[in-house]
Amino acid sequence: MIRCVIVEDKMDDLEVLKEYVSQIPFLKIETCCRNAMEASLVIRNKQPDLVIIKVEMPEINGIEVVKRMRAGIQVIFISASTQYAFEGFNLGVTDYLLKPFGFDRFLMAVEKAREIIKFKDLLRESAGNEGDYISIKSGYKNHRILLADVLFIEAMDNYIKIYTTTKVYVTLMNLKGVLKLLPPDGFSRIHRSYIVALSKVKAFNKQIVTVGSRRLPVGKSYSSVFAAAMEG
């Protein structure tokens, strides 16, 4: 069962969303919120699997709520405009629903979130007693990389470089893809080009993160999420 929080300030639209959820047997509403301040508190306390949230809300919008959330929670944005889509996908949201939308489109977004959640659960289970790891193909070989050895990950066009304590691996993947494979309490995106292992951070401020001997830049849109992750 996937536990979700719905954030929608208009009662009529909220009732439609509740009706849609009632038709999906694997989805359960944990709480419904009518404003962003309430939503931030509920999400922090409940730690749901999925947040379905309207972007345009008074005082604090949905984007700011998501920036303050723990990484790893799946997010579906709802908006009457496409203007927030780029920023939403930069934050790694699962899907972006443009109003008006019907049940079939809503179900498609929720199914996408379920597949990601199932995949991450399988990854954790497969690690067993050997410790958490990710499996990648680098060159002509398959490699199993222990997450405890990862320092940071850097984007290079359609490839990523995974820096570990012993060597660097290059594989065909993007940062959004690899972030979905990583435990949210252990890694955080700090820039459009970098993900860092939180346990390997030596020092940080709003502009720079020091990991090992490298000083990495912090993007403005990622600084609050990273700071929250470091605070635990």
Q: What is the DSSP string of the chain?
A: -EEEEEE-S-HHHHHHHHHHHHT-TTEEEEEEESSHHHHHHHHHHH--SEEEEES--SSS-HHHHHHTSPTT-EEEEEES-STTHHHHHHTT-SEEEESS--HHHHHHHHHHHHHHHHHHHHHHHHHGGG--EEEEEETTEEEEEEGGGEEEEEEETTEEEEEESS-EEEEE--HHHHHTTS-TTTEEEEETTEEEEGGGEEEE-SSEEEETTEEEE--GGGHHHHHHHHH-
Average the pLDDT over 117-127 and give the result: 65
84 pLDDT higher than 90 = no
Residue 15 clears pLDDT 90, i.e. is over it: yes
What's the pLDDT at 130? 44
- What share of the chain in percent tops pLDDT 70? 94
Task: Spell out the domains of the chain, with CATH numbers in brackets.
Answer: 2-126 (3.40.50.2300), 131-231 (2.40.50.1020)
